[in-house]
């Protein structure tokens, strides 16, 4: 089911129907397959998770055009938003770590 995740810093990211998720003890788990999680978000890193009317990524691209940060899906079968989210969270965690070290 498609959803919008709002991070504790106010940043919002929408995920399509292809991203599976689960919340356990406040930890949001994300991945391409249920039970095979590739991203874990601690309760301090996310604020809200909203369900939205689902669309597949292909339908979204046709309706709104491709996001300028997404790769061209014709070449590799699609970009992996979970990987992009992973990289973004890694950056945020590095920033948080730097603050803690100060």
Q: Please tell me whether residue 41 adopts helix, strand or coil conformation.
A: strand
pLDDT of residue 53: 82
**How many domains would you assign to the chain?**
1
pLDDT of residue 1: 80
pLDDT of residue 80: 54
For residue range 1-42, list pLDDT tens digits in order.
Answer: 899 999 999 999 999 999 999 999 999 999 999 999 999 999
For residue range 45-90, list pLDDT tens digits in order.
Answer: 999 999 988 666 555 454 544 443 444 444 444 445 556 666 666 6
Residue 3's Cβ-side half-sphere holds a number of Cα atoms within 13 Å equal to 17
Residue 20 CB neighbours (<10 A): 18
Alpha helices in 1-102 (DSSP H): 57-64, 73-76, 81-101
Structural domain including 77 reads 3-101
């Amino acid at each position: 089911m498609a959803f919008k995740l709002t991070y504790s810093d106010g940043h919002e990211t929408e995920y399509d129907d292809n991203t599976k998720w689960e919340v356990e003890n406040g930890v949001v788990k994300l991945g391409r397959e249920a039970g095979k999680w590739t991203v874990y978000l601690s309760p301090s890193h996310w604020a809200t998770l909203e369900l939205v009317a689902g669309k597949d990524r292909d339908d979204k691209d046709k309706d709104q055009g491709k996001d300028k940060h997404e790769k061209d899906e014709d070449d590799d079968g699609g970009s992996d938003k979970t990987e992009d989210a992973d990289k973004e969270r890694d950056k945020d965690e590095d920033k948080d770590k730097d603050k803690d070290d100060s």
